[in-house]
Amino acid sequence: MSLPLYPPPQHLAGAASPPGAAAGGYDADVIILALDRARETVEAIASARAQTGVSKHVWIADQGSDPENLALLKTAVEGAPDATLVRLDRNWGVAGGRNRATALGAGRVVFALDNDAEFDGADTLARAVRALDAEPDLAAIACRILVHATGAEDLSSWGYPASLLPRAAEGFDTTTFVGAGHAIRRTDFEAAGGYDDALFFCWEEYDFSLRVINTGRRIRYRGDIAVRHKVSGEHRFSWSGTRWFHFVRNRLYIEMKYGASWQSLLPRFLAYQVKGARNGVLQQGLRAGPAALRLAEAFRPPPEQEGLYRLNTTARDYLARNDAAHRGGLWDRARREVLAVLPSVQSKPAATR
């Protein structure tokens, strides 16, 4: 199985192709999506290009930056033999953008770095590649996400059961990864069909991870492999715009993709409405339900991928062992669900499953 063939994007600056690609590939592609926020993106590019001990190519896929910001990106990449700036035909969001950026490269590992993040050290990428090489059954490495300015834990990017937070500096098998910094084996990315473009952003990593796990592969959180994330108010979850809509729509859609009926999802949907109403975005949540149904009704996986959307016994055991077991008993989980619909106005939606 391979990724779809996407129309070639517009080449703007940097190398026309990765050195050594024609000779059979190289270790890693670093992919960075760009949409304005040029200063942070330039710093992310510099961090990626400074990685040592690994053969690599850095791909920057712009999805509609303003001309002045695009000019800064061009300057950062102009003449670079190890980096390429391209412009996609439109804003495909996180899911679609990563698919198209990944398809540009030939590295056996794909490391996605947020455009407001940097590698923690010059050898971070090399250590991620070595971690995948050391355990052939690993599909992905989930990096530790630190606050750029302080090195403290970025709690807004903790995507795992809260009970595992004391183990943030350690390692454990997990059922998802955080988008700010992660490494995926290219063969596993292709075998799982990449991300679902329809998600646009929010929950795309979890959806992809379910398919990877269903193929019998593992995902490993590594607290010793980190990126630093530039956390600020503008980057935290906002109740404005369409963020809550995507959060609710995508979560319900994913459940239906994997066989849940809309009737079984009513309690979750109603809980989301309570949460949205308390934060002034009730209309977003209400629109998300019908939108999720429309996506689910239109979803048609390629014939060779149909089996990925029915979790087998091995996958269910993996999910139970590496997620549900860390979330406490039924009473604890129910209590958290109740508390999750009573947040403060500034809080980020809990990644409840």
Q: What is the dihedral of CA 341, 345, 346, 349, to 10 degrees?
A: 20
Give the tokens for residue 174. 């997990």
For the stretch 215-257, pLDDT in tens is 999 999 999 999 999 975 443 455 667 899 999 999 999 999 9
Q: How far is CA 121 from CA 48, 127, 176, 263, in A?
A: 10, 10, 23, 48
SS3 of 109-125: EEEEECCCEEECCCCHH
- pTM equals 0.91
Backbone angles phi, psi at 75, to 5 degrees: -60, -40
Distance CA 5, CA 254 (A): 24
pLDDT at 233: 42
Mean pLDDT of 203-221: 98
Decide if pLDDT at 338 tops 70: no
Decide if pLDDT at 109 tops 90: yes
Greater confidence (327 vs 197) lies with 197
pLDDT at 231: 75
Decide if pLDDT at 332 tops 80: no
Greater confidence (196 vs 24) lies with 196
Distance CA 113, CA 61 (A): 12
Decide if pLDDT at 1 tops 70: no
For the stretch 266-277, pLDDT in tens is 999 999 999 999
Decide if pLDDT at 43 tops 70: yes
pLDDT at 347: 44
Give the tokens for residue 54. 């690994």
pLDDT at 344: 45
Residue type, 88: L
Predicted confidence band of residue 341 (pLDDT cuts 50, 70, 90): very low
Domains of the chain: 10-235 (3.90.550.10), 243-340 (no CATH)
Beta-strand pair 181-185/109-113: antiparallel
Alpha helices in 234-312 (DSSP H): 243-257, 266-278, 282-298
pLDDT at 248: 97
Distance CA 65, CA 225 (A): 30
Predicted confidence band of residue 5 (pLDDT cuts 50, 70, 90): confident
pLDDT at 4: 74
Is the separation of the CB atoms in 183 and 140 below 8 Å? Answer: yes
